Amino acid sequence: MRAIYGAAALLACCMASACGDDGGGAEPIGRGTEACRDLQDATCDFASDRCRGADRATCDATLRGIECRSDEQASACANALNEAACGTVTPSCDLRAVVDPAPAIAACHTVMQALCDHNVMCGAADPGCAQSIAAMGIDCEQALSIDLRYESCLEAIDALPCGSPAPSVCMQVVYVLPPGL
C-alpha cells in the first residue's frame, strides 16, 4: 500500500481522468460525513492550493465523491495534510486505510447495470453487456470515488431514448484506482 504523498501521487491514486463541474451554481459539499468532507477539502488544499500539483476543480470533482472508513482516520489525515510539506510522505493518509471504496464500487455496478437494463429495454438482448463494458476498461472493483453527478446520471439513463449514446452526464462519473496502486 502506498501513502498519499505530494500532489501528483495523490491525484494518481484517486482518479482516472478529469471531469466537468456538477452543473449547479452552488458549490457541492461532497459525500460522506463532515470529517470526510473536511478531509476532501484538506487534500485539495494541499494538492492544489499549497503544492500547485493539481487543478483545484479536478481535485474537488474527484475527491468530493469519496467516502471515508472512519471519522478518526479522516481527521488524522486532514490534520497531517495541514502540516505536511509538498513532496513528503504522509503515513496517516494511506489511501486504502482512509477511503472506503465499497460505496463507489456499488455505485459503479449500479450505473453499469442501468446501462445494460436500458439496452435490454430497447430490444438489444446482450447477455454479455457487463463484460462488454468491462472490456472498455471500466473495472468497478477498482472504483474509489463516485462523482457528485452520479444521481443525475441515473436519471438521464432512465430518460434516454433508445438508440442514443450514453448521456454525457455519465461520462467519467466513476473514478478508479490506477493499476498497481
What residue spans define the domains of the chain? Answer: 3-98, 102-176
Q: In this structure, what C-alpha cell is assigned to residue 134?
A: 468491462
**This model's pTM is above 0.85:** no
Residue pair 27/67 in contact by the 8 Å Cβ criterion: no
Residue 18 is given by DSSP the state -
What pairing do the DSSP bridges indicate for beta strands 89-94 and 143-146? Answer: unpaired
* pLDDT score recorded for residue 165: 85
Per-position b or e across 118-151, b if 16+ CB within 10 A of its CB: beeeeeeeeeebbeebeeeebbbebbbbbbbbbe
Contacts of 148 (CB under 8 A, 6+ apart): 22, 28, 30, 31, 61, 64, 65
Distance CA 42, CA 81 (A): 7
Contacts of 4 (CB under 8 A, 6+ apart): 10, 13, 43, 77, 81, 90, 93, 94, 95, 98
- Taking only the tens of pLDDT, the chain with its 181 residues reads 222 222 223 323 333 333 333 334 445 588 999 999 999 999 999 988 999 888 899 888 889 999 999 999 999 999 999 889 998 878 888 877 899 999 999 999 999 889 888 888 888 766 677 777 666 677 888 899 999 999 999 999 999 999 888 889 988 898 887 655 5
* pLDDT score recorded for residue 119: 84
* pLDDT score recorded for residue 126: 67
